[in-house]
Amino acid sequence: MQTQFSSVVKGWAMEPTEEWWRQGAVCQIYPRSFADSNGDALGDIAGITSRIDYLERLGIDAVWLSPFYPSALADGGYDVADYRDVDPRLGTLADFDELVAALHARGVKIVVDIVPNHTSDQHEWFQEALDAGRGSAARERYLFREGTGPDGAEPPTDWVSMFGGPAWERVADGQWYLHSFAVEQPDLNWANPEVRADFVTTLRFWSDRGVDGFRIDVAHMLTKDLTEPLLSRSELDALPVDGLHPMVDRDDVHEVYAEWRRVFDSYDPPRTAVAEAWVHRSRVPLYASRDSLGQAFNFDLLLADFDAAQFRRIVVDNLELAEQSGSSSTWVLSNHDVVRHATRYGLPHPDRDAGGAPVRKHGTDWVISGGVDPVLDRGRGERRARAATLFMLALPGASYIYQGEELGLHEVAEIGPEDRQDPTFFRSEGTDYGRDGCRVPLPWTASGSSFGFGPDGAHLPQPPWFADYSVEREEADASSTLSLYRRALALRRELQSAERLAWVDTGRDDVLRFRRPNGWEVVTNFGLLPFVLDRDDALLTSGPLDAGALPPDTTVWFGPGNTY
C-alpha cells in the first residue's frame, strides 16, 4: 500500500484534547428556527435550552449560535440592532446565561456570531447618524458620502450590494450611505476608533458571560479605503486583491484582529474565533494565524460536487493551508447560506448558478439557470450526504454541522413568494430564491401544527414530508441519519487522532481511502461500481455493505489497526 503524508501541524499543540476547537465537532444553530418555547412561531433561547439533551446526545463539542440579538430581521438576524442584548422575541440575557450554564454543565462549548461589517439601520448609532446630519461625529461611524450628478441625486458610485441592487442608499438630507449587503445593513467605518473600541466592549461582554468563542461574519470586509475620488465598479474589479484593494481583504483588517487577539488571550482559556472570509486561498492563512483570528472557515466542500477528485484536491489544499497558518482546517457541508447537501447531491451536477450553489427551488420546480427543471433524487442525495458526512467527520480538523443535516433534511422548496423572508429574493426581484429553504424550522415530532417546533406554528412553512425526517421518527430508527450522526460523533471522539492523514492507494480514481496516524481508516466510494474491501472489520458504514464490497455513494470507517 502506498501512503503519502498530507499535513504536519507546526507550532501548535497537536494533542486532540488540548484545544477543543482544533478538532471539535460544532453544531450551528440558527436560533429562530431551532425550537420555539413560547408559541410565537419563532425559535428562541429557551427553546434551545429545552433541547439540551438532544444536543448532548448528538455528541458535539460546541454549538455556534447564529445571531440572536435584537434585529428587525431584514437579513435573518445579521442586521444587529444591539450587539449586547438578546432579541426580546428570543428571550433575555438571563435566558442566555441559563443556556450557557446548561451547555457547559454537559461539556458543550458555545460560540456566538459577531457581525462587525455592518449594523442594522435600527441600531441607535445609525438612528443618531440620521438625526445628526452631515459632518457629524455620528455619521463618521458609518460610510456616508455625497452623491453625484445634479443635486447629488445619483449615488456616489455604481457599486452593487451583495444582495443585488445599488450599494448606496440616500437619506432624507441627500447624503448617501454604503451598504454592502441589504439597505437595512449600513456598513461601519472601521477607520473610526470609536467603532473599534465598541467591538472590543462587545467581545468582552460575551466573553465575560462565559462564551467560549466567536464566529466572525464577513471578516474580510471590515476595513475599506474610501479616499476620494472613488473608483467605479469596473475599476475596482480590475484591481488585484492583494491586501491593498480598497474594499476587500485588506491587510490592515488584521490590525483589528490583532487587537481582538489580545482580548481573546486575556481570558483563561483564551477565547477562540473563526473567520468567515471569502478570500483567495493564498490569503486564508492570514486570518487563520495565531496573531489574527486563529481559524478560518473553509467552504470548499459547500461548492464541490460529490466527486472523488474534487474532494481529494480540497482536502490536500486545505491541509496545506492549515500547515501554513499553524491552525487546523475546518470542514463544512451545509450552513444557513446554501442549499442543504442532501439536496445538492440529489440533483444533477454540474448545474450550478453563479454563486456556486446548485439550483434553487421555486414553487414545485427546481430551476437551473438556463431553464431546465431537474428531478431531485432524494434517495441518492441522502446516500451521498451520509457518505460525505462520514468522510468529513474523519478528516483532521474541526467539522461544522448545520442544524437539521443530522436528520438528512432536504432544502425546502415549497415556499411561496408571500412567505419568503430572505432579502436576496426581494433584491433580485424573485430571480434568486435565496436561503429560506435551508432555514425552515426543524421537525421534532412527526405530527402537530409545527412538527413539534413549538406550541403554535412556524415562521417559514414546513412541508408535509418533514414528518419522515422528524427527530421522533429518526430516534426510533437505528438506520436513520440521526442514528448515524450520533454513532459517528461518539466514535469520532474515541478515534480522534493527531492532525494529519495519509492517502492509501485504492487503484481507482473514484474511490478515496485515507488513514489517520492512529490507524483510523476511511474509504469512500464516489463511483458507480462497488469497491471490494480488503478488510471485514468495519466500525461504521454510511449505508449497508454488499457482500464485502463498498457500494457506490457509501463510506466505511475502520478502527485503529495499521498505524504509521
Smallest separation, CB 248 to ligand NOJ (Å): 13
- Beta pairing, strands 511-515 & 502-503: antiparallel
Tell me if 78 contacts ligand NOJ by CB under 6 A.
Answer: yes
Residue in 402, 249, 276 with CA at minimum distance from that of residue 336:
402
Residue 199 neighbours by CB under 8 Å, 6+ apart? 83, 114, 116, 256, 260
80: three-class secondary structure by DSSP: coil
Smallest separation, CB 356 to ligand NOJ (Å): 14
HSE-CB at 219 with a 13 A cutoff on CA atoms is 28
- Return d(Cα 61, Cα 55) in angstroms, integer: 9
Stretch that binds ligand NOJ, among 18-26, 75-83, 199-207, 343-351 (CB under 6 A): 75-83
Q: Which amino acid is located at 172 in the chain?
A: A
Q: Which amino acid is located at 127 in the chain?
A: Q
- Return d(Cα 253, Cα 260) in angstroms, integer: 11
Smallest separation, CB 491 to ligand NOJ (Å): 30
Smallest separation, CB 274 to ligand NOJ (Å): 12
Smallest separation, CB 222 to ligand NOJ (Å): 12
- Return d(Cα 53, Cα 35) in angstroms, integer: 13
Q: Would you give the binding string for ligand NOJ spanning residues 318-357, x where CB under 6 A is met?
A: ------------------xx--------------------
Tell me if 181 contacts ligand NOJ by CB under 6 A.
Answer: yes
**Residue 274: enclosing H or E segment and its boundaries?**
strand 272-275
- For this structure, is 276 an active site residue? yes
Ranked by CB distance to ligand NOJ, the top (closest) residue is 78
Tell me if 402 contacts ligand NOJ by CB under 6 A.
Answer: no
243: three-class secondary structure by DSSP: coil
Stretch that binds ligand NOJ, among 41-49, 73-81, 128-136, 302-310 (CB under 6 A): 73-81
Exposure string (b/e) for 109-144, b if CB count within 10 Å is 16 or more? Answer: bbbbbbbbbbbbbbbebbeebbeeeeeeebbbbbbb
Nearer to ligand NOJ, 134 or 280 (CB): 280
Q: Would you give the binding string for ligand NOJ spanning residues 13-52, x where CB under 6 A is met?
A: ----------------------------------------
- Do residues 483 and 476 lie in contact, with contact meaning Cβ atoms separated by under 8 Å? no
Tell me if 436 contacts ligand NOJ by CB under 6 A.
Answer: no
Provide the grid cell at 18: 488540548
Task: For the segment 262-291, give every residue that binds ligand NOJ (CB under 6 A).
Answer: 276
Nearer to ligand NOJ, 6 or 33 (CB): 33
- Return d(Cα 58, Cα 393) in angstroms, integer: 13
Q: Would you give the binding string for ligand NOJ spanning residues 450-489, x where CB under 6 A is met?
A: ----------------------------------------
Task: For the segment 244-263, give every residue that binds ligand NOJ (CB under 6 A).
Answer: none
**Sequential DSSP letters for 423-489:** HHHHHTTTSS-TTGGG-SPP--SSSSTTTTS-SS--SSPPPGGGGGG-HHHHHT-TTSHHHHHHHHH
Is there a cis peptide before residue 229, judged by omega within 30 degrees of 0? yes
Smallest separation, CB 276 to ligand NOJ (Å): 6
Nearer to ligand NOJ, 218 or 332 (CB): 218
Active-site annotation holder among 36, 95, 276, 499: 276
Stretch that binds ligand NOJ, among 71-79, 219-227, 262-270, 550-558 (CB under 6 A): 71-79
Binding test (CB under 6 A) with ligand NOJ, winner from 42, 115, 357, 484: 115
Smallest separation, CB 76 to ligand NOJ (Å): 6
Give strand pairing partners of 142: 188
- Return d(Cα 164, Cα 185) in angstroms, integer: 13
Smallest separation, CB 182 to ligand NOJ (Å): 8
Tell me if 75 contacts ligand NOJ by CB under 6 A.
Answer: yes
Tell me if 300 contacts ligand NOJ by CB under 6 A.
Answer: no
Smallest separation, CB 471 to ligand NOJ (Å): 25
Active-site annotation holder among 61, 187, 217, 436: 217
Smallest separation, CB 68 to ligand NOJ (Å): 14
For residue 173, the 8-state DSSP code is T
- For this structure, is 40 an active site residue? no
Stretch that binds ligand NOJ, among 70-78, 240-248, 406-414, 492-500 (CB under 6 A): 70-78
Give strand pairing partners of 558: 521, 538
φ, ψ of residue 251 to 5 degrees: the values are: -60, -35
Provide the grid cell at 136: 457629524
- Return d(Cα 408, Cα 59) in angstroms, integer: 17
**Residue 384: enclosing H or E segment and its boundaries?**
helix 378-393
Task: For the segment 192-231, give every residue that binds ligand NOJ (CB under 6 A).
Answer: 217-218
- Return d(Cα 64, Cα 183) in angstroms, integer: 26
Stretch that binds ligand NOJ, among 72-80, 195-203, 356-364, 503-511 (CB under 6 A): 72-80
Q: Residues touching ligand NOJ: how many (CB under 6 A)?
A: 10
- Do residues 456 and 433 lie in contact, with contact meaning Cβ atoms separated by under 8 Å? no
284: three-class secondary structure by DSSP: helix
Stretch that binds ligand NOJ, among 74-82, 240-248, 320-328, 533-541 (CB under 6 A): 74-82
Nearer to ligand NOJ, 442 or 522 (CB): 442
Q: Is the dihedral of CA 265, 271, 277, 282 positive or negative?
A: positive
Task: For the segment 511-550, give every residue that binds ligand NOJ (CB under 6 A).
Answer: none
Smallest separation, CB 138 to ligand NOJ (Å): 22
Nearer to ligand NOJ, 73 or 387 (CB): 73
- Return d(Cα 73, Cα 43) in angstroms, integer: 13
Nearer to ligand NOJ, 188 or 550 (CB): 188
Nearer to ligand NOJ, 248 or 501 (CB): 248
Show which residues are catalytic: 217, 276
- Judged by the rule CB under 6 A, the positions of this chain that interact with ligand NOJ are 75-76, 78, 115, 181, 217-218, 276, 336-337
